[in-house]
């Protein structure tokens, strides 16, 4: 009707497609693509519709004979062949089209990045390459011939022939078009191999532009670790002779799991100690794992339609989280993931863009590659693991692979697998997939005659289009700790199914302190009235590392909220943190996480959730004051820890070393409020790795003392795009809020602000929106600047423009003046003539 697609309208494709033969004759402005499709009707009388956009049709033939104009209809969105022109049995359709990769700035379909040809087809980019049934439930075998001048010509599957100016590839595994990929250019490979558990040898190549090959070792090792881990953890083996991974500089997202030919944003491949931070290394390993794990969860088993996106994404995020957890420190990884979930997904769920992990309608599917589909989707899989236990979960996964290999599936198929494997009815559990919103869990306790009772209430606020929120099945992991600090009841998973429900623990000698939602066993907001003394007790004694951290986090959040209205920092909190800074028994990475205060955005979110108006300036002031108070109280310990964490010797990206650097920088951030930035300046001068160099730079900027360091950093790194992205982001995210909007405007004039490159655009705009009080400057300067640039980017790259518009999703948290200013900017964007479908869907939803 209005261009909306509904889940309930799904119909199977009326044809089957067995093989596809593609030939590309590459040229920047006039690439020719011929496609030969072997089709056969499932039932008589159906028209054949092929998707196609921005294609110039050169020829069209059915079983070798050209079709007459009366036999088909060509529109802006595709090609339809009348039923009368189609044979009753199998037939071959051959098309030839012309496309212009060089002018493709949207980076969807076939495009060029720094002289190199590459593709991005998910979700619906293949229709910009050739006429095709561009939907994930149509799976076919692909044969690809590439003709072009470039020395390296790559596509999916196995190489089956190559010569001067051509190469052919054959992919034995049927796949949907969104997994198609082609790369051609002047590239160099870092090579390795992997022998699978059944003894097959696969060649591995990490392809980059000449000059970047000295930053590829880590990526190659990460592929090998991913392959090994998937065999050990899930019994999944690689299934082609070669695995190619290519780094490109212009890419809308992080990376893409095309079968046998993963294409990556170069920031998630290239790493050296001098240019990449510890966080970069961790992300590179995680995303390489993620894309590799898609080979089974995404490629071998794919999605029936795009509403099922979280079937592959939620599951694959869960898999990459588990991988990182095994490669690094599991407890620390879990805390980092929950911090990110709250920062992005809880924020999304609390605003106008809230949607279920499996939505039931969309206008533009690209707008649904969200934190809800990915990160909440992963939490839902994690809850299944919690409910079934590790062995039950593995058995269900085995059944999923055995039953659905080679198919395009739904969430219903997935749930059924878990029901069949466990013998449980998961009907109520399924609401996690279909209902939007974050449940709030409140709890009260009683203790009587040795029986300790917890009474829970669950409540989820209405979200757009979903007024009713029936209760969900919530797994609540609970342990009880005795007054002396010993655990008296080890972790037990309570299954809450009602709106209000009690759970009793009998035979206790004294009233225990409960540790609730251990390991963050469900993606809910836990609201519990407790005393700071009890939180401090848990921070000192909980055996569950997540809840130990969580206790400190709640204390910090509560004291910060109180400080926004003038309270003094909570003494209990200041003392409790002091005990941990120098606690050698606790892991340095864990201690760093305890020292890191909640972000200003998180504090704003918490204030709004309690029904009050968030004041960005007061929040910034409170957070700054709490850092000062912590530093004043613990200066000597912080200084000693800072020194103790120095690591002479060569940089290693391993988790243990990274943890020490992280603690060192957390100490430095607090110490900066005492030493006027002297230590940060010294570290910046002497740093030999990017983690410390960038960390020190950010602290200097935050103190308003960054100009000289910024200039030196720029002079040193101006030719390294990935490092310059950091230069843009850091100074905007961390500078004093009052100057952020003006600084952003100044940086937008910098010749290095090559805004058509998505990484650079995100570096600048994302840096500004990360500066909470700066972006939300009361006079609206931040909003105006940001909206101006979304309007400018939209015709060039609608996907990235639409994605960045989520900076406005938190409007309702703030005062009437700010709300009106944001609304005015959104209305200004919505009124732009010719606005993309991507951005107009977003502004419509944001305006509510």
Positions 307 through 336 that interact with Zn ion (CB under 5 A): 313, 316
- In degrees, rounded to 5, the angle at the alpha carbon of residue 748 between the alpha carbons of residues 744 and 750 is 120
Residue pair 233/294 in contact (Cβ under 8 Å)? The answer is no
Half-sphere exposure of 450 (CA within 13 A, CB side): 4
Cα separation, 310 vs 4, in Å, equals 20
Tell me the three state secondary structure of residue 65: strand
In the complex, the smallest distance separating the C-beta of residue 313 from Zn ion, rounded to whole angstroms, is 5
Nearer to Zn ion, 287 or 683 (CB): 287
Nearer to Zn ion, 400 or 808 (CB): 400
Cα separation, 46 vs 198, in Å, equals 45
Cα separation, 689 vs 710, in Å, equals 16
Residue pair 70/44 in contact (Cβ under 8 Å)? The answer is no
Positions 432 through 491 that interact with Zn ion (CB under 5 A): none
- Would you name the residues annotated as active-site residues? 291
Nearer to Zn ion, 229 or 505 (CB): 229
In the complex, the smallest distance separating the C-beta of residue 302 from Zn ion, rounded to whole angstroms, is 12
Pairing of strands 525-527, 440-448: parallel
Distance of alpha carbon 699 from its chain centroid, rounded? 26
Sign of the torsion angle spanned by Cα atoms 365, 367, 371, 372: negative
Pairing of strands 31-41, 15-25: antiparallel
Cα separation, 471 vs 440, in Å, equals 11
Q: What is the DSSP letter of 376?
A: I
Residue pair 117/183 in contact (Cβ under 8 Å)? The answer is yes
Write out the H or E segment, with its range, that includes residue 766: helix 758-770
Positions 28 through 67 that interact with Zn ion (CB under 5 A): none
The total of other beta-carbon atoms located within 10 Å of residue 454's CB is 20
3-state SS string for 396-433: HHHHHHHHHCCCEECHHHHHHHHHHHHCCCCCCCCHHH
Cα separation, 181 vs 126, in Å, equals 9
In the complex, the smallest distance separating the C-beta of residue 121 from Zn ion, rounded to whole angstroms, is 14
Nearer to Zn ion, 296 or 590 (CB): 296
In the complex, the smallest distance separating the C-beta of residue 392 from Zn ion, rounded to whole angstroms, is 25
Nearer to Zn ion, 475 or 758 (CB): 758
In the complex, the smallest distance separating the C-beta of residue 103 from Zn ion, rounded to whole angstroms, is 29
Half-sphere exposure of 509 (CA within 13 A, CB side): 7
Sign of the torsion angle spanned by Cα atoms 737, 742, 744, 746: negative
In the complex, the smallest distance separating the C-beta of residue 318 from Zn ion, rounded to whole angstroms, is 11
In the complex, the smallest distance separating the C-beta of residue 405 from Zn ion, rounded to whole angstroms, is 19
Phi and psi for 341 in degrees, rounded to 5?
Answer: -60, -45
Intra-chain end-to-end CA distance of the chain, in Å: 19
Nearer to Zn ion, 250 or 313 (CB): 313
Q: CA separation (Å) from 482 to 457, 478, 538, 553?
A: 25, 13, 11, 22
In the complex, the smallest distance separating the C-beta of residue 395 from Zn ion, rounded to whole angstroms, is 24
- In 3D space, the residue among 435, 473, 432, 436 whose CA is nearest the CA of residue 456 turns out to be 473
Residue reference for tokens 């000698």: 509
In the complex, the smallest distance separating the C-beta of residue 127 from Zn ion, rounded to whole angstroms, is 21
Q: Structure tokens of 103?
A: 């002018």
565-594 mask for Zn ion (x: CB under 5 A)?
Answer: ------------------------------
258-297 mask for Zn ion (x: CB under 5 A)?
Answer: ----------------------------------------
Tell me the three state secondary structure of residue 55: coil
Write out the H or E segment, with its range, that includes residue 684: helix 678-686
Nearer to Zn ion, 378 or 387 (CB): 378
- Report whether the peptide linkage leading into residue 123 is cis, meaning its omega lies within 30 degrees of zero: yes
Q: Say which residues have a Cβ less than 8 Å from residue 484's Cβ, sequence separation at least 6.
A: none
In the complex, the smallest distance separating the C-beta of residue 288 from Zn ion, rounded to whole angstroms, is 12
How many residues sit close enough to Zn ion to count as binding (CB under 5 A)? 2
Nearer to Zn ion, 167 or 317 (CB): 317
Nearer to Zn ion, 288 or 592 (CB): 288
Nearer to Zn ion, 313 or 615 (CB): 313
Positions 143 through 172 that interact with Zn ion (CB under 5 A): none
Stretch that binds Zn ion, among 222-230, 305-313, 611-619, 730-738 (CB under 5 A): 305-313
In the complex, the smallest distance separating the C-beta of residue 447 from Zn ion, rounded to whole angstroms, is 47
Nearer to Zn ion, 357 or 475 (CB): 357
Write out the H or E segment, with its range, that includes residue 244: strand 242-248
* List of residues contacting Zn ion (CB under 5 A): 313, 316
């Amino acid at each position: 009707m209005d261009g909306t697609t509904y889940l309930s309208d799904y119909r199977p494709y009326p044809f089957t497609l067995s093989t596809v033969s593609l030939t590309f004759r590459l040229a920047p402005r006039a690439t020719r693509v011929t496609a030969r499709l072997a089709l056969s009707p499932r039932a008589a009388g159906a028209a054949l519709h092929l998707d196609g956009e921005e294609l110039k049709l050169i020829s069209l033939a059915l079983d070798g004979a050209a079709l007459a104009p009366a036999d088909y209809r060509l529109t802006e969105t595709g090609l339809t062949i009348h039923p009368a022109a189609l044979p009753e049995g199998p037939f071959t359709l051959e098309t030839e089209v012309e496309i212009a990769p060089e002018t493709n700035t949207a980076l969807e379909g076939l495009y060029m990045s720094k002289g190199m040809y590459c593709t991005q087809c998910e979700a619906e980019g293949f229709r910009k390459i050739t006429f095709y049934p561009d939907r994930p439930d149509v799976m076919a075998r692909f044969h690809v011939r590439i003709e072009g001048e470039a020395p390296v010509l790559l596509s999916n599957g196995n190489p089956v022939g190559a010569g001067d100016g051509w190469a052919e590839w054959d992919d034995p595994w049927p796949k949907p078009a969104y997994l198609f990929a082609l790369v051609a250019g002047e590239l160099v490979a870092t090579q390795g191999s992997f022998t699978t558990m059944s003894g097959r040898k696969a060649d591995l190549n990490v392809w980059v532009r000449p000059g970047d090959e000295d930053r590829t070792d880590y990526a190659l090792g990460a592929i090998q670790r991913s392959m090994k881990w998937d065999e050990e953890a899930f019994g999944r083996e690689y299934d082609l002779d070669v695995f190619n991974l290519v780094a490109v500089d212009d890419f809308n997202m992080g990376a893409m799991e095309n079968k046998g030919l993963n294409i990556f944003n170069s920031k998630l491949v290239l790493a050296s100690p001098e240019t990449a931070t510890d966080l970069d290394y961790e992300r590179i390993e995680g995303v390489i794992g993620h894309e590799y794990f898609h080979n089974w969860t995404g490629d071998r088993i794919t999605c029936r339609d795009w509403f099922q996106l979280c079937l592959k994404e939620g599951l694959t995020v869960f898999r990459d989280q588990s991988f990182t957890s095994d490669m690094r420190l599991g407890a620390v990884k879990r805390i980092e993931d929950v911090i990110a979930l709250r920062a992005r997904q809880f924020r999304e769920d609390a605003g106008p863009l809230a949607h279920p992990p499996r939505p039931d309608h969309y206008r533009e599917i690209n707008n649904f590659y969200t934190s809800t589909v990915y990160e909440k989707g992963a939490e839902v899989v994690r809850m299944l693991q919690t409910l079934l236990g590790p062995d039950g979960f593995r058995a269900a996964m085995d059944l999923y692979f055995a039953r659905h290999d080679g198919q395009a599936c739904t969430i219903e198929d997935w749930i059924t697998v878990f029901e069949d494997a466990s013998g449980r009815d998961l009907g109520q559990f399924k609401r996690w997939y279909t209902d939007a919103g974050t449940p709030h869990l409140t709890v009260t306790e009683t203790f009587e005659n040795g029986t300790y009772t917890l009474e829970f209430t669950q409540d989820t606020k209405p979200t757009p289009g979903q007024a009713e929120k029936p209760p969900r099945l919530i797994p609540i992991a609970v342990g009880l700790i005795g007054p002396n600090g010993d655990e008296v009841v080890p972790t037990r998973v309570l299954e809450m199914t009602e709106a209000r429900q009690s759970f009793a623990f009998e035979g206790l000698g004294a009233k225990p302190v409960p540790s609730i939602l251990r390991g963050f066993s469900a993606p809910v907001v836990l609201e519990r009235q407790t005393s700071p003394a009890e939180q401090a007790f848990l921070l000192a004694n909980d055996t569950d590392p997540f809840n130990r951290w969580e206790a400190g986090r709640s204390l910090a959040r509560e004291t910060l909220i109180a400080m926004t209205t003038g309270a003094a920092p909570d003494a209990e909190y200041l003392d409790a943190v002091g005990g941990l800074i120098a606690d050698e028994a606790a892991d340095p990475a864990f201690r760093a996480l305890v020292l890191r205060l909640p972000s200003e955005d998180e504090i704003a979110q918490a204030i709004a959730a309690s029904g009050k108006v968030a004041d960005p300036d007061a929040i910034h002031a409170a957070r700054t004051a709490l850092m000062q108070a912590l530093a004043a109280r613990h200066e000597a310990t912080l200084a000693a820890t800072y020194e103790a964490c120095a690591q002479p010797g060569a940089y290693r990206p391993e988790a243990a070393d990274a943890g020490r650097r992280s603690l060192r920088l957390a100490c430095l951030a607090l110490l900066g409020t005492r030493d006027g930035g002297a230590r940060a300046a010294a570290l910046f001068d002497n740093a030999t790795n990017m983690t410390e160099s960038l960390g020190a730079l950010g602290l200097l900027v935050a103190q308003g003392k960054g100009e000289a360091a910024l200039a030196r950093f720029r002079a040193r790194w101006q030719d390294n795009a990935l490092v310059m992205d950091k230069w843009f982001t850091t100074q905007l995210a961390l500078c004093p809020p009052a100057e952020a909007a003006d600084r952003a405007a100044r940086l937008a004039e910098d010749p290095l602000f090559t805004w058509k490159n998505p990484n650079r655009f995100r570096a600048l705009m994302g840096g500004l929106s990360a500066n909470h009080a700066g972006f939300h400057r009361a006079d609206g300067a931040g909003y105006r600047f940001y909206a101006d640039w979304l309007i400018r980017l939209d015709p060039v790259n609608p996907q990235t423009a639409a994605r960045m518009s989520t900076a406005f999703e938190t409007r309702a948290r703030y005062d009437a003046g700010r709300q009106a200013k944001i609304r005015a900017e959104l209305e200004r964007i919505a009124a732009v003539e010719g606005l993309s479908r991507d951005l107009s869907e977003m502004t419509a939803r944001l305006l509510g």
